[in-house]
């Protein structure tokens, strides 16, 4: 999903960039290839190492990442309709997006229920352990809400279009309310428990995901609603997109500054590369699409500039993180299993007249 967002965010920019669209289509094709590869690897892992796969689901540190599976399906599907259609045609793009949207939404809803349930009854986590990773399964339905409206025009007019649109609005509310319940735990832990462990500091950028994606979703609703919802209700979505998106974007910029300060501090203290660095990509990309939506609905050049600056940050982060990931895969460092803890030295044996005493 960190690769697919580079393509979709580039296609969403509110101003033309010569030669950008073909590059975005190529990046989307790369994301599709990565998705197929990783889905195959995950399926083989479940088939041949089912015990380890179940252990991951029951591990409070890894279970929230099942939300990433849903977002990957949705992001690649949305990219098919945004730029992939240039290569595979509109009909194939709509079909691919419909399949991935359906599968991704099903996984997103499952993760949004199952992971918090497991956290309550099996994981037994404490508030002091809260991290932005906990948001992952809750953000996934918001990705569905933002990408689903693109499929609305391809459905039969009437009930089918209205059902999908209002279904996406329901997903918007589901994810937003859940995020509003979880985010205070993350913010409170950050203020009272001190900085996150170094390897987790990049995950602070995950908070931008629900903020940017919800702004994007509100903008998408406004673009689709006039042809689906009759009367003033359809036009009301445009008002909501601005009244909701502008203040949320303001908070996103505040959080981005806070997260950046923590990353700079951690980097100065020796933070090295980890796969958590991918948090610098998708969440920032959602802010690009959110700013682009506000640019279209307000006509303000300031949001054009904001979208362009954030997209430059996104591309730079993707290039850096991608290069580190490829280097780690080639060297085998990322594929290596965890090193076993050193065994404790055996206690010395002292010989006495009464025998051996340990």
> Residue 304 falls within a domain, yes or no?
yes
- Say yes or no to pLDDT of 13 above 80: yes
Domain assignment present for residue 151? The answer is yes
* Cα 24 from chain centre: 19
14 closest CA partner among 310, 315, 318: 310
Residues 6 or more apart whose CB falls under 8 angstroms from that of 308 comprise 13, 15
Q: How far apart are CA 69 and CA 181, in angstroms?
A: 22
Distance of alpha carbon 61 from alpha carbon 133, whole angstroms: 8
In this prediction, residues 304-328 reach a mean pLDDT of 96
At 15, list the tokens: 């101003």
Q: Per-residue pLDDT averaged across 143-165, rounded?
A: 95
How sure is the predictor about 339, in pLDDT bands with cuts at 50, 70 and 90?
Answer: low
Q: What is the pLDDT of residues 29-64, one digit of tens each?
A: 999 999 999 999 888 878 888 888 777 777 878 888
What backbone phi and psi angles, to 5 degrees, belong to 121? -105, -20
Beta bridge partners of 101: none
344 domain residue, yes or no: no
Q: What is the pLDDT of residue 348?
A: 44
Instruction: Report pLDDT for 30.
Output: 96
d(C-alpha 165, C-alpha 220), whole Å: 10
Enter the DSSP assignment of 350: E
Q: How far is CA 264 from the centre of its chain?
A: 22
The reported pLDDT for the residue numbered 336 is: 64
Helix (H, G, I), strand (E, B) or coil at 101: helix
Domain carrying residue 132: 4-327
What gap in Å lies between CA 107 and CA 144, rounded to an integer? 10
As for how many domains the chain has, the answer is: 1
Contact 277, 321 (CB under 8 A): yes
CATH number at residue 322: 1.50.10.150
Classify residue 34: in a domain, yes or no. Answer: yes
With respect to residue 73, please indicate whether it lies within any of the assigned structural domains: yes
Name the percent of the chain lying above pLDDT 70.
93
The model's pTM is 0.90
Quick one: pLDDT at residue 138? 95
CA distance 311 to 9: 7
For the residues 107-122, what does the mean pLDDT come to? Answer: 92
CA distance 105 to 140: 8
Asked whether residue 117 is assigned to any structural domain, the reply reads yes
Q: Is residue 54 part of a domain?
A: yes
Digit-coded pLDDT (tens) for 205-216: 999 999 999 999
Inside any domain, residue 317: yes
Averaged pLDDT for residues 183-196: 91
Give the span between the Cα atoms of 343 and 327, in whole angstroms: 31
The tens digit of pLDDT for each residue in 70-111 reads 999 999 999 999 999 999 999 999 999 999 999 999 999 999
pLDDT at 338: 52
d(CA 260, CA 254) in angstroms, rounded, equals 10
């Amino acid at each position: 999903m960190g690769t697919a967002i580079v393509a979709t965010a580039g296609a969403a920019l509110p101003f033309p960039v010569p030669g950008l669209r073909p590059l975005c289509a190529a990046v989307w094709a790369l994301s599709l290839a990565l998705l197929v590869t990783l889905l195959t690897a995950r399926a083989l892992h479940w088939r041949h190492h089912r015990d380890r796969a179940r252990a991951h689901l029951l591990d409070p540190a890894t279970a929230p990442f099942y939300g990433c599976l849903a977002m990957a399906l949705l992001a690649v599907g949305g990219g098919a309709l945004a730029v992939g259609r240039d290569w595979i045609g509109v009909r194939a793009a709509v079909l691919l997006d419909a399949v991935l949207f359906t599968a991704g939404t099903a996984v997103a809803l499952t993760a949004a229920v199952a992971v918090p349930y497991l956290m309550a009854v099996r994981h037994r986590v404490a508030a002091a352990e809260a991290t932005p990773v906990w948001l992952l399964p809750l953000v996934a339905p918001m990705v569905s809400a933002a990408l689903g409206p693109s499929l609305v025009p391809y459905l039969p007019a009437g009930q089918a279009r209205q059902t999908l649109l209002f279904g996406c609005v329901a997903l918007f509310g589901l994810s937003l309310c859940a995020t509003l319940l979880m985010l205070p735990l993350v913010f409170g832990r950050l203020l009272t428990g001190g900085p996150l462990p170094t390897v987790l500091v990049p995950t602070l950028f995950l908070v931008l995901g629900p903020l940017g994606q919800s702004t994007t979703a509100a903008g998408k609703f406004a673009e689709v609603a006039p042809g689906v919802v009759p009367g003033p209700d359809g036009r009301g979505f445009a008002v909501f997109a601005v009244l909701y998106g502008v203040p949320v974007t303001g908070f996103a910029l505040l959080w981005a500054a806070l997260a950046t300060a923590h990353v700079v501090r951690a980097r100065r203290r020796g933070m090295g590369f980890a796969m958590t660095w991918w948090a610098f990509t998708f969440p920032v990309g959602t802010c690009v699409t959110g700013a682009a939506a506000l640019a279209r609905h307000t006509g303000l050049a300031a949001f054009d500039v904001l979208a362009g600056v954030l997209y430059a940050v996104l591309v730079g982060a993707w290039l850096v993180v991608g290069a580190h990931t490829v280097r780690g895969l080639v060297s085998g460092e990322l594929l290596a299993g965890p090193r076993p803890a050193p065994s404790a030295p055996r206690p010395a044996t002292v010989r006495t007249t009464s025998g051996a005493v340990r």
